[in-house]
Amino acid sequence: MSLLNAMRAEMADLYDDLDIDAVNMPKAGPGQFAPPRGDFLIGVGPDGRGVCCGGIKPLPDGACEFKRMYVRPENRRQGVARELLARLEHRARELGYETARLDTGPRQPHSERLFRDAGFQPIGNFNGNPIASFFGEKRLLPCVADPPRSPATSPRPSKRGPRLARARQSADGQAGTRPP
Protein backbone atom coordinates (compact mmCIF):
# COMPACT_ATOMS: atom_id res chain seq x y z
CA MET A 1 0.00 0.00 0.00
CA SER A 2 1.34 3.47 -0.88
CA LEU A 3 2.21 5.89 1.91
CA LEU A 4 -0.71 8.19 1.12
CA ASN A 5 -3.17 5.30 0.93
CA ALA A 6 -1.84 3.95 4.24
CA MET A 7 -2.27 7.42 5.77
CA ARG A 8 -5.82 7.72 4.40
CA ALA A 9 -6.71 4.30 5.84
CA GLU A 10 -5.24 5.17 9.24
CA MET A 11 -7.08 8.52 9.37
CA ALA A 12 -10.36 6.80 8.41
CA ASP A 13 -9.80 4.27 11.21
CA LEU A 14 -8.85 6.91 13.80
CA TYR A 15 -11.64 9.32 12.91
CA ASP A 16 -14.66 7.11 12.13
CA ASP A 17 -14.38 6.78 8.35
CA LEU A 18 -13.09 10.32 7.81
CA ASP A 19 -12.32 11.11 4.18
CA ILE A 20 -9.33 13.47 4.29
CA ASP A 21 -10.13 14.51 0.72
CA ALA A 22 -13.77 15.43 1.52
CA VAL A 23 -15.05 18.80 0.36
CA ASN A 24 -15.09 20.24 3.91
CA MET A 25 -11.45 19.30 4.61
CA PRO A 26 -8.46 21.58 3.88
CA LYS A 27 -7.06 20.82 0.44
CA ALA A 28 -3.71 19.05 0.23
CA GLY A 29 -3.45 17.25 -3.08
CA PRO A 30 -0.63 17.16 -5.64
CA GLY A 31 -1.52 20.63 -6.96
CA GLN A 32 -1.03 22.22 -3.56
CA PHE A 33 2.49 20.79 -3.26
CA ALA A 34 3.60 21.87 -6.73
CA PRO A 35 6.78 23.87 -7.33
CA PRO A 36 7.92 26.53 -7.16
CA ARG A 37 6.40 27.22 -3.69
CA GLY A 38 5.49 23.67 -2.61
CA ASP A 39 7.26 20.35 -2.25
CA PHE A 40 6.69 16.82 -1.01
CA LEU A 41 9.29 14.66 0.75
CA ILE A 42 9.35 10.88 0.92
CA GLY A 43 11.54 8.83 3.25
CA VAL A 44 12.74 5.69 1.50
CA GLY A 45 14.03 2.62 3.34
CA PRO A 46 17.03 0.52 2.32
CA ASP A 47 14.67 -1.76 0.42
CA GLY A 48 13.35 1.17 -1.64
CA ARG A 49 9.98 1.17 0.14
CA GLY A 50 8.52 4.48 1.32
CA VAL A 51 8.46 4.77 5.11
CA CYS A 52 7.44 8.42 5.67
CA CYS A 53 6.20 11.46 3.81
CA GLY A 54 5.16 15.07 4.25
CA GLY A 55 4.35 18.07 2.11
CA ILE A 56 4.83 21.83 2.06
CA LYS A 57 1.78 23.77 0.94
CA PRO A 58 1.86 27.53 0.30
CA LEU A 59 -0.74 29.62 2.16
CA PRO A 60 -2.25 32.86 0.83
CA ASP A 61 -0.63 35.01 3.56
CA GLY A 62 2.92 33.94 2.61
CA ALA A 63 3.33 31.25 5.27
CA CYS A 64 3.41 27.55 4.46
CA GLU A 65 1.57 24.58 5.92
CA PHE A 66 3.00 21.13 6.52
CA LYS A 67 0.47 18.54 5.36
CA ARG A 68 0.20 14.80 4.89
CA MET A 69 2.94 13.98 7.40
CA TYR A 70 2.92 10.24 7.88
CA VAL A 71 5.27 7.54 9.16
CA ARG A 72 4.44 3.87 8.67
CA PRO A 73 3.66 2.19 12.03
CA GLU A 74 6.64 -0.17 11.82
CA ASN A 75 8.99 2.83 11.45
CA ARG A 76 7.66 4.83 14.41
CA ARG A 77 9.49 5.48 17.67
CA GLN A 78 12.83 5.60 15.82
CA GLY A 79 13.13 9.38 15.37
CA VAL A 80 11.86 9.26 11.79
CA ALA A 81 8.99 11.73 12.37
CA ARG A 82 11.31 14.17 14.16
CA GLU A 83 13.79 13.99 11.28
CA LEU A 84 11.01 14.36 8.70
CA LEU A 85 9.73 17.47 10.46
CA ALA A 86 13.27 18.93 10.57
CA ARG A 87 13.65 18.26 6.83
CA LEU A 88 10.29 19.88 6.07
CA GLU A 89 11.35 22.96 8.04
CA HIS A 90 14.68 23.09 6.22
CA ARG A 91 13.07 22.73 2.81
CA ALA A 92 10.49 25.40 3.67
CA ARG A 93 13.34 27.77 4.52
CA GLU A 94 15.01 26.95 1.20
CA LEU A 95 11.72 27.85 -0.52
CA GLY A 96 11.79 31.24 1.22
CA TYR A 97 9.20 30.71 3.95
CA GLU A 98 9.59 32.42 7.30
CA THR A 99 6.55 30.86 8.98
CA ALA A 100 5.24 27.28 9.00
CA ARG A 101 1.87 26.09 10.26
CA LEU A 102 0.34 22.68 10.81
CA ASP A 103 -2.52 20.92 12.54
CA THR A 104 -3.35 17.56 14.08
CA GLY A 105 -6.38 15.88 15.57
CA PRO A 106 -7.42 14.87 19.09
CA ARG A 107 -6.66 11.20 18.49
CA GLN A 108 -3.01 11.92 17.63
CA PRO A 109 -1.54 13.23 20.90
CA HIS A 110 1.90 11.95 19.87
CA SER A 111 1.81 14.30 16.86
CA GLU A 112 0.85 17.28 18.99
CA ARG A 113 3.67 16.44 21.40
CA LEU A 114 6.17 16.22 18.50
CA PHE A 115 5.04 19.57 17.11
CA ARG A 116 5.13 21.35 20.48
CA ASP A 117 8.56 19.86 21.24
CA ALA A 118 9.76 21.19 17.86
CA GLY A 119 8.69 24.72 18.82
CA PHE A 120 5.25 25.04 17.22
CA GLN A 121 3.11 27.41 19.30
CA PRO A 122 -0.68 27.03 19.54
CA ILE A 123 -2.69 29.36 17.28
CA GLY A 124 -6.31 29.55 16.15
CA ASN A 125 -7.89 27.44 13.43
CA PHE A 126 -6.10 28.91 10.41
CA ASN A 127 -7.30 26.42 7.79
CA GLY A 128 -10.89 25.52 8.67
CA ASN A 129 -10.06 21.91 9.56
CA PRO A 130 -13.22 20.64 11.30
CA ILE A 131 -11.53 17.77 13.16
CA ALA A 132 -8.18 19.25 14.22
CA SER A 133 -7.66 20.09 17.89
CA PHE A 134 -4.14 21.55 17.68
CA PHE A 135 -3.11 24.27 15.27
CA GLY A 136 0.52 25.31 15.48
CA GLU A 137 2.82 27.94 14.06
CA LYS A 138 6.58 28.30 14.08
CA ARG A 139 8.82 31.10 12.89
CA LEU A 140 11.51 29.57 10.70
CA LEU A 141 15.03 30.86 11.13
CA PRO A 142 17.03 31.68 7.97
CA CYS A 143 18.43 28.68 6.11
CA VAL A 144 22.18 28.48 6.71
CA ALA A 145 23.08 24.80 6.36
CA ASP A 146 21.64 21.39 5.84
CA PRO A 147 20.15 19.83 8.95
CA PRO A 148 22.32 17.21 10.60
CA ARG A 149 21.73 13.77 9.17
CA SER A 150 21.01 10.85 11.40
CA PRO A 151 21.71 7.32 10.19
CA ALA A 152 17.94 6.89 9.91
CA THR A 153 17.64 9.53 7.17
CA SER A 154 21.03 9.48 5.49
CA PRO A 155 20.89 10.25 1.77
CA ARG A 156 22.58 6.92 1.11
CA PRO A 157 20.58 3.78 1.75
CA SER A 158 21.65 2.12 4.95
CA LYS A 159 20.62 -0.97 6.81
CA ARG A 160 19.34 1.22 9.66
CA GLY A 161 16.58 3.31 8.18
CA PRO A 162 15.11 5.47 5.42
CA ARG A 163 16.68 8.18 3.33
CA LEU A 164 14.61 11.22 2.40
CA ALA A 165 13.95 12.20 -1.18
CA ARG A 166 11.88 14.92 -2.76
CA ALA A 167 8.83 13.71 -4.59
CA ARG A 168 8.36 14.60 -8.19
CA GLN A 169 5.21 14.52 -10.19
CA SER A 170 4.95 12.97 -13.59
CA ALA A 171 2.66 14.34 -16.27
CA ASP A 172 -0.07 11.94 -15.15
CA GLY A 173 -0.01 13.33 -11.58
CA GLN A 174 1.61 10.28 -10.02
CA ALA A 175 4.26 10.93 -7.39
CA GLY A 176 7.72 9.45 -7.74
CA THR A 177 10.96 10.17 -5.97
CA ARG A 178 14.24 11.80 -6.78
CA PRO A 179 17.30 12.05 -4.60
CA PRO A 180 17.56 15.11 -2.34
Across 6-44, b (16+ Cβ under 10 Å) vs e yields bbbeebeeeeeebebeeeebbebeeebbeeebbbbbbbb
Helix (H) or strand (E) holding 124: none
Terminal alpha carbon distance of the chain: 23
Q: Is residue 170 part of a domain?
A: yes
Question: What average pLDDT does the structure give for the chain?
Answer: 84
Q: What is the pLDDT of residue 179?
A: 38
Q: What is the pLDDT of residue 17?
A: 78
Q: Is residue 24 part of a domain?
A: no
Domain containing residue 161: CATH number? 3.40.630.30
Could you give the CA distance from residue 57 to residue 67 in angstroms, rounded to a whole number?
Answer: 7
The count of structural domains within the chain is 1
Model confidence over 70-84: pLDDT tens digits? 999 999 999 999 999
Q: Is the per-residue pLDDT at 2 higher than 80?
A: yes
Domain that residue 82 falls in: 33-178
Q: Average pLDDT for residues 104-130, to the nearest whole number? A: 97
